[in-house]
C-alpha cells in the first residue's frame, strides 16, 4: 500500500498540483481529446484503443471522486469498475449535449448515491450506522497520513447528507463551477449554492465543537 499522491492527471498527461483547476488551454486540449475518443470509439477497429485512452485519462479522477464518497477502497474499486462498464455499454449513445467529463461524473455520482442508499437500507437504523461505519473506516486508514485536521474535516463531512457531501466535494475539492455541478447532479445553480453554503456552515460548526 502506498499513499496516493498525484491524483489529478488531466487531459494532456500533465500532473496538476493538489486542488488546482486545469488551465483553459488544458481544458481545450482535453475537449479535443474527448471528441477523438468518441469518434474512435464508434469504429470497431479502434474501439478498445479509444476506451483505453478514456480510462487512462479519467480513471484516477473518477476513482478519487468515488473514494471520497464511500471511503473504503474495495467499495470504491467495485464502483469505479461498474462506472466504466456502464460507460463502455452506453458511450456510443452519448450525445454531446454535455461534456464527457460531466457525463462520467454524473454516472459516478449516481453510483455512489445508489450504493450508499443500498447500504442504508441494509441497516435497520438509518444514517447513524452508515456514518459510524464510514467514520471508523476513515480512522483506520488515516493512521498512515497523520494529518489530524484533515481527518477532522473528513469526519465533519461524514455528518452531512450524502448529496450535500457530494456537492461539497465537487465544489471544494474539485473546484468545479456551479454550472458544471448542476450538469452533474441535475440540480439548479441556486439550490446548489444554498446547499454548499449550508454544508460549509455545518462543517465549521462541527470543527468548532470538536476543536483540537
Partner 1 sequence: MKLEDIPKKQPVFDIPEDYFENLPHKVMRRIKQPRRRSLSMWLAYAACLALLLMGIGIGYDHFDVENDKLGSWQTIEEVLLENDISEAELLELHYMSETIQDPSEIVFEELLYEVSEEEIMELAY
Residues that bind partner 1 (CB under 8 A): 1-5, 7-8, 18-19, 48, 52, 55-56, 59-60, 63-64, 67-68, 71, 73, 77, 80-81, 84-85, 88-89, 141, 144-145, 147, 149-150, 153-154, 172-173, 200, 203-204, 207-208, 211
Of the pair 64, 104, the CB lying nearest partner 1 is at: 64
Least CB distance to partner 1 at residue 207 (A) = 4
Give the residue with the Cβ less far from partner 1, 97 or 211: 211
> CB of 167 within 8 A of CB of 182?
no
By C-beta, is 97 or 148 nearer to partner 1?
148
Angle 65-69-73 (CA atoms, 0-180°, nearest 5)?
A: 80
Q: What are the cell numbers at 55?
A: 480510462
Q: At closest approach, how far in Å is the CB of 98 from partner 1?
A: 22
End-to-end CA distance of the chain: 29
Residue 84: its H or E element: helix 73-90
Cell of 65: 471522486
Q: Which of residues 48 and 96 has its CB atom nearest to partner 1 in the complex?
A: 48
Output the smallest distance, CB 3 to partner 1, in A. Answer: 5
**Residue 95 zone, left/alpha/beta (φ > 0; ψ -120 to 50; rest):** beta
Amino acid at each position: 500500500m502506498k499513499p496516493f499522491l498525484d491524483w489529478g492527471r488531466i487531459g494532456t498527461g500533465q500532473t496538476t498540483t493538489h486542488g488546482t483547476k486545469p488551465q483553459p488551454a488544458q481544458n481545450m486540449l482535453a475537449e479535443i481529446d474527448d471528441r477523438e475518443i468518441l469518434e474512435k470509439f464508434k469504429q470497431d477497429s479502434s474501439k478498445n484503443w479509444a476506451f483505453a485512452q478514456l480510462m487512462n485519462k479519467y480513471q484516477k479522477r473518477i476513482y478519487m471522486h468515488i473514494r471520497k464518497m464511500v471511503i473504503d477502497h474495495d467499495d470504491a474499486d467495485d464502483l469505479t469498475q461498474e462506472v466504466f462498464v456502464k460507460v463502455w455499454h452506453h458511450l456510443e449513445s452519448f450525445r454531446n449535449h454535455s461534456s464527457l467529463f460531466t457525463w462520467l461524473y454524473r454516472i459516478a455520482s449516481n453510483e455512489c448515491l445508489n450504493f450508499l442508499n443500498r447500504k442504508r437500507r441494509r441497516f435497520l437504523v438509518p444514517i447513524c450506522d452508515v456514518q459510524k461505519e464510514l467514520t471508523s473506516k476513515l480512522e483506520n486508514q488515516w493512521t498512515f497520513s497523520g494529518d489530524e485536521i484533515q481527518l477532522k474535516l473528513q469526519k465533519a463531512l461524514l455528518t452531512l447528507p450524502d448529496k450535500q457531501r457530494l456537492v461539497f466535494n465537487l465544489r471544494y475539492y474539485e473546484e468545479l463551477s456551479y454550472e458544471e455541478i448542476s450538469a452533474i447532479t441535475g440540480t439548479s445553480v441556486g439550490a446548489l449554492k444554498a446547499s454548499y453554503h449550508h454544508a460549509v456552515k455545518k462543517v465549521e460548526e462541527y470543527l468548532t465543537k470538536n476543536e483540537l
